[in-house]
Structure 1
Amino acid sequence: MSEVVITVRGEHEARIAPERALAHLTIRAEGPERGAVVERMAAYSEPVREDLTARSAAGTVAEWTSQRVSVWSERPWSADGKRLAPVHYATVDFTATFTDFTVLSWWAGEVAEREGVQLGWIEWQLTPETRAAVEREVAAGAVGVAVTRANAYAGALGLASVTPLEVADVGLLARNDPPQPAPRMLMAKAEFADAGMGGGPSVQLQPDDIVVTAAVEARFTAR
């Protein structure tokens, strides 16, 4: 049999337990006086800043940020269709990266009870070093799957020698479909929810593994 060109796709994935947790929260104030609202928002924020600074010094928070300060006004409508006096709002967003999930659980329950604080969600993450190592492993695994498939196809045709010609991210060999980045990391999330009935916040801290996936296309010649 003459030389045959074999084109295959290889996929691989790894599941890794999260190493960090990125918590999101928003501090909010509202009222009829703009200046007073901004001052109250700042007063709500200060204990949070102090707490995160202390936890960062203790090593349980890797880093934290305070950003996206927003101040705006709205004039609501009454039930009979009349415009009411303006209501002013002020918010500021915080993020904090925790390295100790037990500390995170206690912190979340405590901070959610503070006036003006709204907990958002948690993003479970890997450290940059672990992420880079896992991405290399997954990419190599996807290539290995492609090689195994090419050899299987060649064997089915009675051919013994397989030589690689091209390896690329999915879509780059076909040229017709847009390329897809690889590896890809699927981030687990946990939502903060109000427990209701006067209770404290309910925090789900049972993260799924982070899934890192990769897919490649490869072209071989077989003899």
Structure 2
Amino acid sequence: MSEVVITVRGENEVRIAPERAIVTLSVALDGPDREAVVARTLALAEPVREGIAAQEKAGAVETWSSRRLSVRSERPWSNDGTRLALVHHASVDFTATFVDFAALSAWVAEVSTGDGIAVNGTDWILTPETRARVEQEVASEAVRTAVTRAGAYAAALGLTKVEPIEIADAGLITDRGAADMAPKAMRAFAAPPSGAGLELQGDDITVSATVEARFVAA
């Protein structure tokens, strides 16, 4: 039997618990008096800033940041099409990366009861070091899966020698139509926060890899 070209796909996927939680929240107020709205917003934002700084000092927060006060004004429209009195909006946004999820839960339960404070959501992630290591391990296992699959095809044909001639991320070997439908070769993601509120127990993060490989069997 002459040489046979075998093209296969190898996949692998692992799930790993998140290591960090990036929380975003806003302190925002509005009203007819610009100075009063600004002063009240700043007053409400200060204990939030102090609380996050205390969490950082205790080791529960890795990094955090806050944006400068944002102020805008508008004249809203009434239902009958007339312009209403000027309304002023002021806000301060915060972002904090928690490493202690128990502290995160307690902090959110406390801070979310404050006036003008909205916890916008959370992003559950891995550290860059863990993500890089896991992605490499998952990709290597996907390649091994492709090699095993090609060997099985060759054995079914009564062939014993299998040599790789091409390997690529999913969609780079197959035609464009198939590539458009192929999953990404590498991805890491967490479930987004629910619109109903902040999810304090992050889902495991899925890290997956898909490769395509071409072999010559004889």
**TM-score between both structures, scaled by the size of structure 2:** 0.90
Question: Helix, strand or coil for the counterpart of 1:152?
Answer: helix
Counterparts in 2 of 1:94 and 1:222: CA distance versus 1, 3 Å: same
Distance of 2:168 and 2:184 partners within structure 1: 10
Say whether the 8 Å CA contact 1:120–1:192 is kept in structure 2.
Answer: no
Counterparts in 2 of 1:221 and 1:204: CA distance versus 1, 3 Å: same
1:101 matches 2:72: no
Q: Which amino acid aligns with 1:221?
A: V
Partner of 2:214: 219
Moved more, 26-35 or 162-171: 26-35
Partner of 2:50: 50
Distance of 1:160 and 1:73 partners within structure 2: 76
Distance of 1:218 and 1:34 partners within structure 2: 64
Q: Which amino acid aligns with 2:52?
A: L
Distance of 2:101 and 2:130 partners within structure 1: 18
Distance of 1:99 and 1:147 partners within structure 2: 39
Say whether the 8 Å CA contact 1:189–1:207 is kept in structure 2.
Answer: no
Distance of 1:168 and 1:57 partners within structure 2: 46
Distance of 1:126 and 1:2 partners within structure 2: 49
Q: When the two structures are aligned, how many residues end up with a matched partner?
A: 215
Superposition pairs of residues 80-99 of structure 1, within 5 angstroms: 80-99=80-99
Partner of 1:198: none
Distance of 1:112 and 1:192 partners within structure 2: 15
Partner of 1:11: 11
Partner of 2:190: 187
Distance of 2:216 and 2:204 partners within structure 1: 38
How much has 1:69 moved relative to structure 2? 4.9
Partner of 2:31: 31
Counterparts in 2 of 1:191 and 1:93: CA distance versus 1, 3 Å: farther
Partner of 2:205: 210
Percentage of identical aligned residues: 57
How much has 1:192 moved relative to structure 2? 7.2
Question: Helix, strand or coil for the counterpart of 2:67?
Answer: strand
Distance of 1:51 and 1:192 partners within structure 2: 25
Q: Can you list the C-alpha shifts for 1:162-188, whole angstroms capped at 9, x where unaligned? A: 111111111212252368653201213
Partner of 1:160: 160
Distance of 2:165 and 2:171 partners within structure 1: 16
Question: Mind listing any 5+ residue stretches in structure 2 that lack a counterpart?
Answer: none
Say whether the 8 Å CA contact 2:122–2:199 is kept in structure 1.
Answer: no
1:137 matches 2:134: no
Distance of 1:47 and 1:192 partners within structure 2: 26
Counterparts in 2 of 1:96 and 1:70: CA distance versus 1, 3 Å: same
Distance of 2:15 and 2:65 partners within structure 1: 29
Partner of 1:67: 67
Question: Helix, strand or coil for the counterpart of 1:208?
Answer: coil
Partner of 1:197: none
Partner of 1:199: none
CA RMSD of superposed structures (Å): 2.0
Say whether the 8 Å CA contact 2:10–2:142 is kept in structure 1.
Answer: yes
Distance of 2:68 and 2:191 partners within structure 1: 24
Distance of 1:22 and 1:44 partners within structure 2: 21
Bigger strand share: 1
Say whether the 8 Å CA contact 1:169–1:180 is kept in structure 2.
Answer: no
